[in-house]
Structure 1
Amino acid sequence: MTDTTLAVLTRRAHERYPSAPAVLGASGGLDFAALGAAARRIAYRLDRRGLRAGDRVLLALANCAELMLCEHALFGSGLVRVAVSERLHPREIAGIAADCAAALVVCEPAAAPAVRDLLHRDEATARTVVLPAAEAAALAEPGVPDRWPDRPLPGADDLAALMYTSGSTGRPKGAMVSQRGWVAMLRGFWAALPPLGPGDVAVHAAPMSHFGGSVGTAVTLRGGAAVPVRRFDPGAVLDTVARHGATVLPSVPTMLKSLTEAAAGRDDLGCLRAIPYGGSGISAPAAARAQQVFGTVLYQCYGLSEALAPVTVLDARDHAAGGPRLAAAGRPTPEVEIRIVPADGQPPEAAATGSVGQGGAGPATATGGSDVDGAASSEPIGEVWLRGDCVLPGYWARPEATAAARTPGGWFRTGDVGRIDADGYLYLVDRISDVIVSGGFTVYPSEVERAIAELPEVADVVVFGVSHERWGEAVAALVVPAAGAALSTADVVQACRDRLASYKKPLQVEIADSLPTSSTGKVARRALRAAAWARHERHVGQ
């Protein structure tokens, strides 16, 4: 498409919107002129320390103004952003820093000593600089020339970021994002969301190291302001939205559910124009409740570390229409191609840009007929493959993993199971690795979750496979009741009996106060599965 780079767009925003607010907070804020000056001074000082374009800088920070200062310094100077959750253990942060050979680590003060000690034990990482957030912010202070380092701007195919996978199935891998790829992500958001510009305000309660930061870049580089929120408290977040007249509120499903409960009955949130959410799936009932509370402002965005959201978008009109379509992940953004590919993985024929991959000569596809979404569907089910500028060029220093994930034709194998309906909407069924095979029958956890979520007494649910002597695997469910609701394990099993084939009902049900989540806010399905396989539990519903 275009050879515009993230570096060019970052510098342009500082110049184009000098007097517009860029960062807002309780202790004041920065306009774009001040943000640009701070970013240039940080970049200048890092250059004097020996960092050069292409060097990796790991940011393990909670949502804060310092994170934005560092990001803009990296974006504008060709350094590579490696953002991870500040909730990671120091050993995990050091491990990722070692994997990508980071020249600099910026992290929370409590983690800095341990991260530094771990890195400096190894000769290969002994020269890695570790700075707590305050020391990194001090690099923005006056005292050096207010200019970018004197070196060429990065090209469109140069590296902009590494997005580390969660590592739930092994050692974390760094998905490489080129300058071209990050700009493609921005164009996707700009096409999907309402028009953005000066006057827009994004409240960042979702992690800025992940999906929230992706949305934030789209807002900031169009002249909008950011309000970083360090700690998620639903009521306090909504108070911040109302106080700043925020127009954009990036979220993840677990947060959106809490925000929906806290927003019920409030009349001071009419300023919101867009609540983009992503990072994991959401049940149709939860999406419907959010639509009822917030109105026509919801945008569900599907993407991965290897293909940044928004790959597909279920937009505000889709949410307002309601019905079965709330179970969809949306339609592809204009520059993305999608195919549904059978288990044999035969390369699909080329599709037109923006195609959903169902027309013309395509690959043989897996046969459908599974009652996903609670109703018979005739669309073929298979692995979701993607192609476009948003797709990773590869994994950092993992040629074997890159070869396994990408085809010679440029298609990325997502590992997600899905189908596409006649109107071009993608429905995600599950991760290939999460599929349960019980007695030879395939069970998708998401379809069982949807059946259980239809109970009004259920606030949240996660389904996973556990070991079973007779069936090999059995279905297990961890369920959170709605506030004040009386819910029994028998109710949960009966809901599945009423809606699904008998072999799909859970044989193990546990009622809990909350669901465990990862550092990025996703439900920790695989951790639950691993713990359950390590112990013997009583079965129910047999």
Structure 2
Amino acid sequence: MTTLAELVAAAHRTFAARPAVGALTFGDLGAQARAAATALRRLGLRPGDRVLIALDNRPEVLALEHALWLGGFVRVAVSTRLHPAEIAAIADDCAAAAIVTELDVPGHRAIAPGAELFSGPADDFEPRRDSDDLAALMYTSGSTGRPKGARVTSGAWVAMVEAMWQELPPIGPDDVVLHVAPMSHFSGSVGSAYTLAGAAAVPLARFDAVEAVAAIERHRVTAVTLVPTMLERLAEAVDRPTSLRAVVYGAAPISVPVMRRAQEALGTVLYQFYGLSEALAPLTVLSAADHATGDPQVLSSIGRPVDSVDLSIVDGEIAVRGPQIMPGYWGGEPLRDGWFRTGDLGRLDAAGRVHLAGRRSELIVTGGFNVHPAEVEQAIAVLDGVAEVAVLGVPDARWGEAVSAVVVRGPGSELSEEDVRRACASRLAGYKKPRRVVFLPELPQTSTGKPDRKRLRAAFS
């Protein structure tokens, strides 16, 4: 089986004269990666050592992660939106041998991503040939507890890339991928499929819809990865046809109305990928053709499982098995029988599509009845004037938990609490109606773009 290091080395060699990122060709990228790997080795690092990266999107991120994979080191990429103390905790948990960042991480000496890291002498590196080698630790967001590091092998990363190659439009050196979501997470994963097939990368440090549209036009971008809130804002900012051939989104729930508006603005280019830190996307795919059907039953799903993944519903919970699944958490026990219980509740329809019903940990139990937040969110999201919505359970002396909604109004909307309740009453059982509704200017998010339920609960205190 081809390893990740072999894919990286092959990309540098095969596309040596083609643009890779910024002003760098793939040949330049390979030279910088080997120089950085050599520098780390001369600092005393050995294969298997963990290197934590906390950088905004920039060309150095790509060169550095290629260096890690060529040198046999382990990529531990985290969001710069984390507090330095949170980054330090992750570094301590995985016993990071080095941290590359411009942040001041307490208790750790950081390596700045300066030119000296990438321009020194470069040793030759023989690509490692064991697909079971650890390639990355993907830390969970920690929205409901302490972050845990999912162990991602070289073989799992390669399987992820190959699944993306199968599901996306054909990728080659004429493609350009735009990074506006953090390269440390979903955008970097999808970006691997593009870079390793010879596509150029354009990293932007922060997402701004107007700047993203300008970058798409300027660089003739063909692919971009977004979380749903970014997708909605990008669609609002587009006022003419674009060069995009694939807009990949995921990592958080999306409403059917938002999906339809995005397709109207961007065309038949939407791909929804479902995955987790522990089980790399795509586990399931809602393809461009699926989006084009306009069928609410199709659009409300997360698509069908990819060919390489076995998916089952066990006691209402989605369980998966396949080459993209972690063997276990860092410092934890291995998975039993290779099956990973995702924590996501769901069901399969007659066509084999998967429908999410929310997280098992987010299930609301009110007056003895179970309420899935996702179905209440869907009932509210179809209302005119709703930009975003999140539903959660808030402790209640009488009911145990009270169904509660946080709503973001769209521009010019005067939506009221009674409007929200009335919409739910027309679609849902009485016990599923929100007992409390709070309006906020925006939904707080975790570093990975998911609704931050800890901070959302604070809105009801």
TM range (shorter): over 0.9
Partner of 1:420: 348
CA offsets 1:225-274 (integer angstroms, 9 cap, x no match): 000000111010111011100000111111111111112xx2151x1000
The alignment status of 1:454 with 2:434, answered yes or no, reads no
1:332 corresponds, among 282, 291, 305, to 305
- Structure 2 partner of 1:252: 227
Match status 1:148 vs 2:130: no
Q: What is the TM-score with the length of structure 2 in the denominator?
A: 0.98
Contact 2:5 2:127 in 1 (8 A): no
Paired residue type of 2:146 = R
Q: Is the 8 A contact 1:167 1:173 kept in 2?
A: yes
Shift of 1:322: 1.5
Structure 1 residues not aligned, in runs of 5+: 120-128, 343-381, 536-542
Partner of 2:280: 308
Report the equivalent of 1:389. 323
Runs of 4+ in 1 over 2 A off after TM superposition: 146-149
The answer to whether the aligner puts 1:236 opposite 2:211 as a matched pair is yes
Amino acid at match of 2:281: A
Match of 1:133 in 2: 113
* Deviation for aligned residue 1:41: 0.7
Query: Structure 1 counterpart of 2:107, which letter?
Result: L
Aligned-residue CA RMSD in angstroms?
1.3
Count of equivalent residues: 460
Deviation at 1:152, TM superposition (A): 6.6
Is the 1:466–1:475 contact (alpha carbons within 8 Å) kept by the matching residues of 2? yes
For residue 118 of structure 1, what is the aligned residue in structure 2?
107
Aligned 8 A contact 2:6 2:127 in 1: no
Is residue 2:133 matched to residue 1:158?
yes
Superposition deviation, residue 168 in structure 1:
1.8
What is the CA distance between 1:526 and its match in structure 2?
Answer: 3.7
Q: Is the 8 A contact 1:466 1:532 kept in 2?
A: no
State the SS of the aligned residue for 2:281: strand
Alpha carbons of structure 1 residues 222 and 497: separation in structure 2 relative to 1, 3 Å:
same
Residue correspondence of structure 1 range 56-67 to structure 2 within 5 A:
56-67=50-61
The 1-side partners of 2:113 and 2:404 are apart by 42
Q: 8 Å contact 1:56–1:101 — kept in the other structure?
A: yes
State the Cα deviation string for residues 474-511 of structure 1 (Å, max 9, x = none).
Answer: 11111111111221110001000011111100000011
| Aligned residue among 63, 68, 71 for 1:74 | 68
Q: 1:488 aligns with which of 416, 420, 430?
A: 416
Please tell me the residue identity of whatever aligns with 1:148. Answer: D
Which one is further off, 195-204 or 277-286?
277-286
Q: TM-score with structure 1 length normalisation?
A: 0.83
Distance (Å, rounded) in 1 between the aligned partners of 2:459 and 2:417: 17
Q: Is the 8 A contact 2:279 2:324 kept in 1?
A: yes
Residue 400 of structure 2 corresponds to residue 472 of structure 1: yes
Deviations 1:437-476 (A, max 9, x none): 0001110111000000010111111111001111111111
TM-aligned CA deviation for residue 154 of structure 1: 4.7
Alignment of 1:500-511 (within 5 A): 500-511=428-439
Deviation of 1:410 after TM superposition, in Å, equals 1.2
AA of the residue aligned to 2:361: S
Give, in angstroms, the shift of residue 4 of structure 1: 1.0
Corresponding residue number in structure 2 for 1:53: 47
Counterpart code for 2:182: P
The whole-number CA distance in structure 1 between the counterparts of 2:459 and 2:35 is 51
Cα distance in 2 between the residues matched to 1:277 and 1:188:
15
Q: Give the drift of 1:527.
A: 3.0
Contact persistence 2:36–2:117 (CA under 8 A): yes
Q: State the one-letter code of the partner of 1:282.
A: I
Structure 2, gaps ≥5 residues long: none
Whole-angstrom CA distance in 1 between matches of 2:258 and 2:127: 48
Q: Distance in 2 between matches of 1:76 and 1:255?
A: 33
Task: Write the distance in 1 (CA, Å) between the matches of 2:419 and 2:304.
Answer: 35
